[in-house]
Amino acid sequence: MSGITRWDVDVVIDMHARLGEGPLWDHRKRVLAWVDILARLVHFTDPETGVTTSIPAGTEVGALGLLGADAYLLAVRNGFAVFDGASIEVTDEVLTAAGQRMNDGAVDPVGRFIAGSITDDRTPSGALYARDTAGSVRELFGGVTVSNGLAWSADGARMYYVDSPLQTIEVMDYDVGSGTVSDRQTFVTIPEDAGIPDGLTIDAEGCLWLALWGGSAVRRYSPEGALVGEVELPVPRVTSCAFGGPDLDRLFITTASVGASPHDPPRALEGALFVVEPGCTGAESVVADVSP
């Protein structure tokens, strides 16, 4: 791929996460919050020192959102929860069938927490859910297999979404006032030999950054859907990315150590947290303020 920009990465800390995911810059505390889904841990990393505090969650946590002055909303195995810094309380159990769990999610431009489910058997029986600012939970749409990356345009009018087995980034109209979607369509198709689309984020220029599971990379796509940049990583299973740091000018990248073939030797740095300075910035994380 000629004519695209490439960047070098650095290691923030090698946690050897089984399934590192959900990076989120917490500007309130100046730390990167992220999770290890399979280890059932929530991590808080100081990017300047790599010092990390790990909190046992007691359940799988797929994603986090900032809540109020110092708390967090979580997408946990069966639904949504609140973490106040000391304990985790499940507030909404939305998944009751076996073989599903909540996965990736993000807070929308006005404070709703949007998160979707993943199915063990990879059938399209999952859904994308919204926890509204009043605290109620509703389904945005069904037919989901592996719900992953979410991001919104600067004006909130477009939502980008990844259901990984579709090998696409989708885009749809988003009504910020009602929190509803329409006109869902393909934005970018990912070739299968490039990896499986996973988590994503958006920068201040409207470009999307997409993590590629099995692809050893994060790709940058223009607002028109053209591939314009790529971050190559020394590990295969790249899971998600988010802008952070005091100036929001660093891209943090999570990875996983789980999923290797038993015939493959383990690679150094699998499951590490990486960072790159891409020469652009992201947006500050929205803080949800909803009923507990």
Rounded Cα gap, residues 115 and 172, in angstroms: 16
Dihedral angle, C-alpha 152, 155, 157, 158, nearest 10 °: -30
Q: Beta strands 227-232 and 71-76: pairing type?
A: unpaired
Q: What angle (nearest 5°) sits at the alpha carbon of residue 114, between those of residues 122 and 15?
A: 70
Cβ(146)–Cβ(103) under 8 Å? yes
Rounded Cα gap, residues 89 and 9, in angstroms: 36
Residue 122 has a CB neighbour count (10 Å cut-off) of 13
Cα end-to-end distance, the chain, whole Å:
48
Tokens 């940058």 belong to residue: 220
Rounded Cα gap, residues 107 and 113, in angstroms: 4
* Catalytic site positions: 198
DSSP of 157-181, one letter per residue?
-EEEEEEGGG-EEEEEEEETTTTEE
Query: Phi-psi region for residue 3, left (φ > 0), alpha (ψ -120 to 50) or beta?
Result: left
Dihedral angle, C-alpha 200, 26, 72, 56, nearest 10 °: 90
